[in-house]
Amino acid sequence: MIWQPVNLTTACPANSPLTACSPFGFIYLNLLVQLFGDSFDNKIQRHYPSIELGDNNDDYDFIVVGAGSAGCVVANRLSENPTWKVLLLEAGPEQPDVTLVPGLSTVLASSNIAWSYTTEPNGKSCLAYPGGRCSIGSGKTMGGSSSINSMVYIRGNRADYDGWAALGNEGWSYNDVLPFFKKSENNKNIEDLDKRYHGVAGEQYVSRFTYIDEPSLMMTKAFIERGLPLTDPNGPHQEGVSQSQVIAYLGERVSTNTAFIQPIRYRRKNLTVKVNSEALKILIDKNKRAHGLIYSYNGQIFTAFAKKEVIVSAGSLHSPKLLMLSGIGPKDHLEQLGIPVVQDLAVGENLHDHVTFSGVAIALSNKTATTVSEIEILKAAQDYAEMKTKRGPLSGHGSSSTVAFIKSDPNLIAPDVAYHCRDIYDWKEFFDDPLTAGRLQIFPKSFYNAVTPRIGHTSPNSRGILLLNSSNPYGPPLIYPNYFGDESDLIPIVKGMRFLLSLENTEAFRSTGSYFVREPMPACKDYVWGTDDYHVCLAKSYTSTTYHYVGTCKMGPKWDRKAVVDNKLRVYGVSGLRVIDASIMPFIVRGNTNAPSIMIGERGVDFVVKYWQQYSKY
């Protein structure tokens, strides 16, 4: 089996009353492993043992590091040229079947297909967690985070990309990037949307969930009652509420691996894909040109060479790590670790994220809650596995379908507050032990008795840094997101909470008997529930990432001292090397980061292809 879920034996506290830690939790996870623990690619390789898996030579034209949201796009577009040999490396295993089930997304982040790290404390966030450290991580499998995330497809605001261009990044305005969003997109709800903003011929399926439950509709209706329009957040008007579109189709997740790599992997002989292969160092010659890579596979060390370029698409946590291990980064930091400095750049700086928090719960009445018996949960998993056409509760995503954006100040040019809903299997268990319950969300999102809206500030001012660990530079990096380091980031959150609490007065809530649970969270019991001070306490105590970290290999003009790559994503001072992923964002978009990462893959590889096509003419 490819997939290994969280080990409840070690993860559960002794004598824990949580259902996840009961014998049923063990039975449930074991069933998931049996039903969904294998992978599509492993089945192909077993069924066709003689299938060509790629070139085993060491020489390639391009090496792409990371088969995530951007890397899969890059590898696909480069290998369209049959004369170019492309190597795609992924540190994790094949994408397991469990990732395809929308309702099981919560069980993925704590499993073996995710990098599981903790943040470093700053005294202003994560205060309820041991050592002031929050969980943080990303996808570690084919498809990267697009294989384990919540699938929401929201690009951000026009002002984001125009803002990037205004900083000196020519070619990245909204009008410049829109064609690259559309190029990848295969939108299956286009009849409801403006075709000026959406594509229908790309590889990446985008649609609404086929199964939308009553609590999600309730949340959408409540936001509409409070004055928000029903809108397409990827169209001309982001402010409003929507039943969000997602990277799914016909009841299944469509990761970038599913969309861009699986259809070509065994057909294009010039594409080699190697899983469980972690990049350790970029080879850079005396002329400061990247010409290859050292990587590990099953404890052995291998070398691959690139005639044209090495492209790093390992994400905002691992792209900077690889650059620094290769001697590209802050001079003082590298010298302290004894790493020879190739190029002094602000790698790892400018780290930021859409910070959010937990602790607010909307209890659902018995007639609205979607809870079922333990036997019915097991049956739902079994039924989904046996369906040819995927439908039913596990083909949806609970209340996460509802996404809303508002302005905390009407004078802002774009929304700065986002609402993403999540679900709580049992809110009484959650309030009894919020840290363990939050860490062990193993049951399907489809079955729950409470909604927990998450508020995020979409334009944070706080900036952190990522560093190599001096005790083991090749191990987990030191991640300092510095949440609420700039306390002005709390202002939109407080205002957003005031708006959120007003939903309780809507007919949508009253007609279903839904209400806010007025039980203070343990770390904030000294504050009056529902006050601004209480919400500040929640934000600082029960801080949580949205997994939207960006900025650690910042794109910017040469005069920008924090810039790592130029507007064509070339690393300053080192030829033959680019970074193409969310780490290049100068500042974060006002939306989710998966769709922009796919676009960055398209935009970035277009620069590569055009350069080498032009070069080949001479």
> Active-site positions?
548
Alpha-carbon gap, residue 386 to 124, rounded angstroms: 48
Assess contact for 24 and 42: CB atoms under 8 A. Answer: no
Q: Which amino acid is at 550?
A: V
CA torsion sign, 493 to 104 to 133 to 347? Answer: negative
Residues 6+ apart with CB under 8 A from 300: none
Alpha-carbon gap, residue 460 to 399, rounded angstroms: 25
Phi then psi for 352, rounded to 5 degrees? -155, 170
Alpha-carbon gap, residue 373 to 351, rounded angstroms: 43
149 is in an annotated binding site: yes
Residues 6+ apart with CB under 8 A from 353: 460, 481, 483, 545, 546, 547, 548, 549, 550, 588
Helix axes 158-166, 174-184, angle to 10 degrees: 130
Which residue from 611, 564, 22, 62 is spatially nearest to 309, judged by alpha carbons?
62
DSSP per-residue codes, 475-527: SPPEEE--TTSSGGGHHHHHHHHHHHHGGGGSHHHHHHT-EE--PPPGGGTTS
**Tokens describing residue 89:** 């490396």
Supply the DSSP symbol for 195.
T
How far does CA 607 lie from the centroid of its chain? 24
Helix axes 71-78, 594-615, angle to 10 degrees: 30
151 is in an annotated binding site: yes
Assess contact for 248 and 151: CB atoms under 8 A. Answer: yes
Alpha-carbon gap, residue 99 to 65, rounded angstroms: 21
**Tokens describing residue 205:** 């399926």
Assess contact for 343 and 328: CB atoms under 8 A. Answer: yes
Assess contact for 422 and 597: CB atoms under 8 A. Answer: no
Report helix, strand or coil for 163: helix
Q: Are strands 402-406 and 240-243 parallel, antiparallel or unpaired?
A: antiparallel
Which residue from 504, 547, 183, 218 is spatially nearest to 356, judged by alpha carbons?
547
150 is in an annotated binding site: yes
152 is in an annotated binding site: yes
Phi then psi for 239, rounded to 5 degrees? -65, 125
Binding site for FAD, residues? 149-152
Binding site, residues? 149-152
